[in-house]
Amino acid sequence: MSAYILPILFLLLILYCMYKRINTYDNFVKGAKGAIKLVVDIFPFIASILIAVALLRVSGITAWLTDILSPIFTFLGVPPELTELVLLRPFTGSGSYALLEDILTTYGADSYISRCACVIMGCSETIFYVATVYFSQTKVKKLLYAIPVALFCSIIGTILACLLCRVM
- 32 to 91, contacts with another protein by CB under 8 A? 32-36, 38-39, 42-43, 46-47, 50-56, 58-61
Residues 93-132 contacting another protein, CB under 8 A? 93-94, 97, 100-101, 104-105, 108-110, 114-115, 118-119, 121-125, 127, 130-131
Closer CB to another protein, 9 or 72, in the complex: 9
Distance of alpha carbon 15 from alpha carbon 19, whole angstroms:
6
Q: Shortest approach of another protein to residue 10 CB, angstroms?
A: 7
77, 157 contact by CB (below 8 A): no
119, 144 contact by CB (below 8 A): no
Q: Shortest approach of another protein to residue 103 CB, angstroms?
A: 9
H/E run at residue 145 = none
Q: Which stretch binds another protein (CB under 8 A): 2-10, 66-74, 80-88?
A: 2-10
Distance of alpha carbon 109 from alpha carbon 114, whole angstroms:
6
Residues 137-166 contacting another protein, CB under 8 A? 137-146, 149-150, 152-154, 156-157, 160-161, 164-165
Total residues at interface with another protein (CB under 8 A): 87
- Beta strand ranges found along 42-130 (DSSP E): none
Closer CB to another protein, 42 or 76, in the complex: 42
Q: Does 8 bind another protein (CB under 8 A)?
A: no
23 by Cβ neighbours in 10 Å (0-12 / 13-18 / 19+) ranks as exposed
The CA distances from residue 9 to 2, 14, 163, in Å, are 12, 9, 35
Q: Shortest approach of another protein to residue 86 CB, angstroms?
A: 13
Establish how many alpha carbons lie within 13 A of residue 41's alpha carbon, considering only the half-sphere containing its beta carbon. Answer: 12
